[in-house]
Amino acid sequence: MGSLKLALLCGVLLCLLVQVSLAAKVRHHKWAVEYLFWSPDCVEHVVMGINGQFPGPTIRATAGDTIVVELTNKLNTEGVVIHWHGIRQLGTPWADGTASISQCAINPGDTFIYRFKVDRPGTYFYHGHYGMQRSAGLYGSLIVDLAEGKKEPFHYDGELNLLLSDWWHQSVHEQEVGLSSNPFRWINESQSLLINGRGQYNCSLAAKYSNSSSVPECKLRGSEQCAPQILHVERNKTYRLRIASTTALASLNLAIGVKFLFLFVYPVLKIAQMEN
């Protein structure tokens, strides 16, 4: 009788393991890290991008999934590693992206395969972890949804994703030399702050609403790389706001216009337009 119970228990556990393995997926991404001419704040500079885009592509997975990123370094003069910010890397410390600690930097022309499991849902991001590569724009969002069958604590109708960053007009090599030199050379405040890789330098979108503004109004058509991204919401809808700060040096406070009423219950942000 005891052996029969043990056999039944083993059978149930095996079925559960099979179900879990069937639900979990392998999310494969093929990336090329490269230099790009870009205008994040309406002034053209060189950025580090992935697959021809800046910021890098968003990775979306479900808790329990395995993420595989086949990364080729197309930077001609420097190595590269990627750190997956907030991912615990249980059993995969070599995928953590810490140069000279958990892995060697990926040399120009070489390919390295990151393979790791995401076990906890949440809003994460990834970034370059070699020299000042995060300051150069090598970053992107990583979103992990709840495992199948799990429910969020609150209902929401949609999501809004915000990736915050600081941006300098100095090259990252000038920044790095200044910050590591003796005597120390401070690189000053960033020229711009970016939301989803977009900002405006030496002009203001709000200038037309002020008679005393000393900064000229931005004249944008909407197709520019620096034109602000428009996030569409509907009245009386509930939205989840996912925010990740990839800033290199700045510590930011985020505020949203007073024409909106915000009812905040973590992790949900309810947005409704105020009357009058």
| Percent with pLDDT over 70 in the chain | 81
Q: What is the pLDDT of residue 264?
A: 44
Mean pLDDT, residues 41-70 taken together: 96
pLDDT in tens, 219-262: 888 889 999 888 888 988 999 999 999 999 988 888 776 555 44
Q: Where are the domains of the chain?
A: 25-152
Owner of token pair 């690189």? 187
Asked if 147 and 23 touch (Cβ cutoff 8 Å), the reply is: yes
pTM of the full structure: 0.81
Give the pLDDT band (50/70/90) at residue 275. very low
Q: Is the pLDDT of residue 20 over 80?
A: no
Longest pairwise C-alpha distance within the chain: 88
Q: Is the pLDDT of residue 87 over 80?
A: yes
Instruction: Give kind and range of the element (H or E) at residue 13.
Output: helix 2-23
Give the pLDDT band (50/70/90) at residue 270. very low
- Which CATH number, 2.60.40.420, 3.40.50.150, 3.40.50.300, 2.30.30.100, labels domain 25-152? 2.60.40.420
